[in-house]
Amino acid sequence: MTTTRSSPIAAAPHASSRLSAPVAGLVGLLSMVAGLAIGHLVGGFISPTASPFLAVGASAIDLTPLWLKDFAVRTFGSYDKVVLLSGMAVVIGLVGVAAGLISRRSRTPGLVLIVVLGVVASVAVLSRPTAGSLDVFAPLAALIVSAGVFVFLHRLGRLSQPPTARGEAGMPRRTLLAGSVAVAAGAGIAAAGGQLLIGRSDIEASRKAVGRIVPRAPASPIPAGADFSADGSPTFITPNPDFYRVDINLTLPQLSTQDWRLRIHGMVDREVNINWSQLTSRPLIERPVTMTCVSNEVGGPYLSTGNFTGVLLADVLKEAGVRPGADQVYTTSVDGWTCGTPTTTLLDPTRQAMLVIGMNGEPLPIEHGFPVRLLVPGLYGFVSGTKWITDMELTTFDAKRAYWLQRGWAQRAPIKTMSRIDSPGPFERVSPNTPITGVAWAQTRGIEKVEVRLDHGQWLPAELSTEVNVDTWRMFRLRGRWEPGAHVAEVRATDKTGYTQTADRAAPIPDGATGWHSVQFTVQ
Ligand SMILES: Nc1nc2c(c(=O)[nH]1)N[C@H]1C(S)=C(S)[C@@H](COP(=O)(O)O)O[C@H]1N2
Ligand SMILES: [Mo]
């Protein structure tokens, strides 16, 4: 341990003009780390390949001979990149320490080394195949911050040397320590921030690389009469940015097509492992389906329709060979969320459960499960809609309990026949001839009839939009001339089995809300 008390040797003339070796090494190391962290953060804003750290790593991969690459992949498997980046971090750290050690008397040699490294990093960044001209700002920021921190800590280091014969006032070591801790903490935050931004844009790049999704069997065009959006109903297809989103994730799972795998195992004749290119070379079908969340309250918003592209799951399951008794398909997302679906539903050819890769002509948006999700028409999302799916186990409901089942929600949850008024909105003031419009849904059964009543009067049959298929919503519209004043409108749907939705209000938990939606509005 060093002490702050001056020894006769330390107090010798000129001693203060020389940093001790540990302090010099620390100063060099921290300035290097701070520069790279800021470069990583700026890279996060511009492009992942602008990060000097990642660009140097990518150049290193490019410059590695093939035999060494093969060795790395064989030895470290999918950790090869982690091993490379960790090795690089150690080397760069050592160079930083060296920059400090050659600067114990004067800071000039270290600054020269930092500038040289900055130029090397800029060359690495700009020579990436996808480099843009803005990218140079990341290594530039790294260079400036690195040099600035070096000058700052070098000065603190000198001032905190023991007092000199010349009588310079010594600063306590604490100040150097505090400065170092502050730089290290700042660097940590910047690096983490950069990593967060880069992770996201990396996956966005993987998503862009997929391009447009063109199914072999595209869905028929949506007929013009499929919605009454001109009168206030939703559009038949929900645009991706407006599609409702429900999941337990604070940050989105980051799974590229390259890293994606689906393992189908458990009670099967043979385990099946599928990667992205194997999945996408299967026949792709496209179908509009309306998804609904079990948490949707009467009149709630967790309901949207997409044109989904994917592979029929029943075909894949048949290849695996489902063993008798496997009544549950237990799926797991890359982040560990789990979901239990009845096997019979997934094998039912009329159900057309899908491994989905596309939504409205685009690759799945990240928040909707990129690159692959499960979609089962007619079941609420929590028992059917596994996003970022990576694992599918054939098992029994007795053996395994999925995420929401453990938290009090139902094991089996078919979507209930329901309807919602969208226009007029609650307490809206409208003109006397404003139509009453909205949506009704009864996935797998189809909507037969929707009725609306005003002020608890007679039920009046509403006009229905053109049916697209029984797995999608149907819009309704009631035209009329309403008396001036306050009104209440109510709606109820009847599905094609003849069931009319009950007036009894039930909460969403455990298997979906029931009751008629009503809206109060005023005619003026
Ligand atoms: N991995 C994962 N998948 C998930 C969930 C989740 O929390 N994690 N939520 C489910 C629920 S409750 C619903 S309603 C649907 C919603 O899908 P969306 O967000 O694409 O609309 O996703 C399902 N899939
Ligand atoms: Mo849900």
- Predicted pLDDT at 346: 98
Q: Are residues 60 and 191 both part of a single domain?
A: yes
Does residue 326 sit in the same domain as residue 433?
Answer: no
Question: Where does residue 244 rank: exposed (0-12), middle (13-18), buried (19+ CB within 10 A)?
Answer: middle
Judge if the beta carbon of residue 373 lies within 6 A of ligand 1: no
Given this model, what pLDDT does residue 402 score? 96
CA of 246 to the centre of ligand 2 (A): 6
Closest CA to 246 of 336, 337, 331, 309: 337
On whether both 89 and 121 belong to a single domain, the answer is yes
289 strand-pairing partners: 306
Mean pLDDT across 270-275: 97
**pLDDT: which is higher, 159 or 318:** 318
Show the tokens assigned to 318. 């048949």
Full residue range of the structural domain in which residue 442 is found: 418-523
| Backbone angles phi and psi of 436, in degrees to 5 | -100, 120
Q: Atom of ligand 1 at shortest distance to CA of 334?
A: 1
Rounded to 5 degrees, φ, ψ at 500 are -105, 135
Closest CA to 468 of 441, 498, 506: 441
By three-state DSSP, how is residue 487 classified?
A: strand
Distance CA 234, CA 222 (A): 14
Least confident of 249-263, 286-300, 508-522: 249-263
Residues making up the chain, counted from first to last: 524
Task: Find out whether the beta carbon of 152 lies less than 6 Å from any atom of ligand 1.
Answer: no
148-165 burial, b at 16+ Cβ within 10 Å, e below that, comes to ebbbbbbebbbebbbbbe
Picking from 173-177, 199-203, 460-464, which range would have the lowest pLDDT averaged per residue?
Answer: 199-203
Which tens digits make up the pLDDT trace of 42-68? 998 887 778 999 888 878 877 776 677
- Res 69 pLDDT > 70: no
Distance, CA of 5 to CA of 510 (rounded, Å): 71
Distance 306 CA to ligand 2 centre (A): 16
Q: What pLDDT score was predicted for residue 127?
A: 86
Which is higher by pLDDT, 499 or 158?
499
The verdict on residue 195 lying in a domain is yes
Within-domain flag for 474 = yes
Domain boundary among 407, 438, 470: 407
In short, whether 40's Cβ falls inside 6 Å of ligand 1 is no
Residue 381 Cα to ligand 1 middle (Å): 6
Average pLDDT over residues 223-231: 97
pLDDT digits (tens, 9 = 90+) for 166-186: 445 567 788 899 999 999 999
- The β-bridge relationship of strands 389-395 and 328-333 is antiparallel
Q: Whose CA is nearest to atom 8 of ligand 1?
A: 247
Distance 385 CA to ligand 2 centre (A): 8
Q: Are residues 480 and 393 in the same domain?
A: no
Report yes or no on 5 lying in a domain: no
Element (H, E) at 329: strand 328-333
At residue 364, the pLDDT reads 97
Residue 16 lies in a domain: no
Residues 353 and 381 in one domain: yes
Probe residue for ligand 1, chosen from 338, 370, 382 as the CB with the greatest number of ligand atoms within 8 Å: 382
Mean pLDDT, range 184-202, rounded to an integer? 88
Mean pLDDT in the chain? Answer: 91
Q: If DSSP codes are grouped into helix, strand and coil, which group holds residue 517?
A: strand
Check pocket membership of 293 for ligand 1, CB cut-off 6 A.
Answer: yes
Same domain, 403 and 435: no
Residue 133 has pLDDT above 50, yes or no: yes
Distances (CA, A) of 14 to 111, 149, 378: 22, 24, 83
pLDDT at 164: 54
What is the structure's pLDDT at 254?
Answer: 80
Residue 510 lies in a domain: yes
Ligand positioned closest to the Cα atom of 376: 1
**CA–CA gap between residue 28 and residue 100 (Å, rounded):** 4
The token duo for 366 is 């990240």
In this structure, of 92-106, 237-251, 293-307, 488-502, the range with the lowest mean pLDDT score is 237-251
As for how many domains the chain has, the answer is 3
Residue 438 lies in a domain: yes
398 and 444 in a single domain? The answer is: no
Does the pLDDT of residue 250 top 90, yes or no?
Answer: no
Domain check: are 340 and 430 in the same one?
no
Same domain, 443 and 463: yes
In angstroms, the CA 206 to CA 195 distance is 16
pLDDT for 15 equals 43
Residue 304 has pLDDT above 50, yes or no: yes
For residue 330, give the CATH number of its domain.
Answer: 3.90.420.10
pLDDT of 28 > 90? The answer is: yes
Judging by DSSP bridges, how do beta strands 460-461 and 463-464 pair with one another?
A: unpaired
Q: pLDDT tens, 366-415?
A: 999 999 999 999 999 999 999 999 999 999 999 999 999 998 999 999 99
Residue with CA closest to ligand 1 atom 6:
247
Return the ligand number nearest the Cα of 359. Answer: 1
Same domain? 485 vs 364: no
What band does 14 get if pLDDT is binned at 50, 70 and 90? very low
pLDDT of residue 2: 43
**From atom 21 of ligand 1, which residue's Cα is the shortest distance away?**
245
Q: Give 304 Cα–ligand 2 centroid separation in angstroms.
A: 12
CA of 380 to the centre of ligand 2 (A): 6
Query: What whole-number distance in Å separates Cα of residue 51 and Cα of residue 39?
Result: 6
Structural domain contains residue 393:
yes
Ligand 1 pocket mutation, candidates 242, 246, 260, 333, criterion most atoms within 8 A of CB: 246
Q: Specify the CATH number for the domain of residue 458.
A: 2.60.40.650
Is any atom of ligand 1 closer than 6 Å to the C-beta of 385?
A: yes
- Verify that 390 and 478 share a domain, yes or no: no
**272-275 and 338-342 beta bridge pairing:** unpaired
Q: What is the DSSP letter of 482?
A: P
Q: Are residues 449 and 490 in the same domain?
A: yes
Q: Which residue in this structure is represented by tokens 């608890």? A: 456
What pLDDT, in 10s, does the model give residues 348-361? Answer: 999 999 999 999 99
Q: Answer whether residue 225 shows pLDDT above 60.
A: yes
Q: Where are the alpha helices (DSSP H) in 282-327?
A: 313-320
Neighbours of 56 (CB within 10 A): 23
Q: What is the pLDDT of residue 84?
A: 81
Q: Which atom of ligand 1 is nearest to the CA of 380?
A: 14
Q: Residue 285: beta bridge partners?
A: 217, 310
**424-438 pLDDT per residue, tens:** 999 999 999 999 999
**Per-residue model confidence (pLDDT) at position 197:** 86
pLDDT for 3: 43
- Reported as a single tens digit per residue, the pLDDT across 474-488 is 999 999 999 999 999
pLDDT in the model for residue 73: 62
Examine residue 239 and state whether it is found in any structural domain, yes or no. yes
For position 82, what pLDDT does the model report?
Answer: 76
Alpha carbons 340 and 134: distance in angstroms, whole number = 48
What is this structure's pTM? 0.70
Query: Which residues neighbour 85 within 8 Å (Cβ) at sequence distance 6 or greater?
Result: 53, 54, 57
- Give which of 28, 35, 34 is closest to 139, Cα–Cα: 35
Task: Answer whether 391 contacts ligand 1 (Cβ < 6 A).
Answer: no
Tell me the ligand closest to 252's alpha carbon.
1
Other C-beta atoms closer than 10 Å to the C-beta of 500 total 14
Is the shortest distance between the CB of 161 and ligand 1 below 6 Å? no
Q: Which residues contact 475 (CB under 8 A, 6 or more apart)?
A: 226, 227, 228, 233, 234, 236, 437, 438, 439, 440, 464, 465
Contact 368 CB / ligand 1 (< 6 Å):
yes
Ligand 1 near 154 CB (within 6 A): no
Is the CB–ligand 1 distance for residue 82 below 6 Å? no
Query: What is the token pair recorded at 293?
Result: 């969340």
Do 451 and 438 touch, CB atoms closer than 8 A?
no
Ligand 1 atom 12, closest CA:
382
- Confidence grade of residue 252 (pLDDT, cut at 50, 70, 90): confident
Q: Would you say the CB of residue 247 lies under 6 angstroms from ligand 1? A: yes
Mean pLDDT over 460-471 rounds to 98
Highest mean pLDDT among 1-10, 99-108, 205-214: 99-108
d(CA 229, CA 439): 11
Question: What is the pLDDT, as a whole number, of residue 163?
Answer: 62
DSSP of 236-292, one letter per residue?
SSPPGGGS----S-SS-----TTT-EEEEEESBSS-EEEEHHHHHTSPPEEEEEEEE
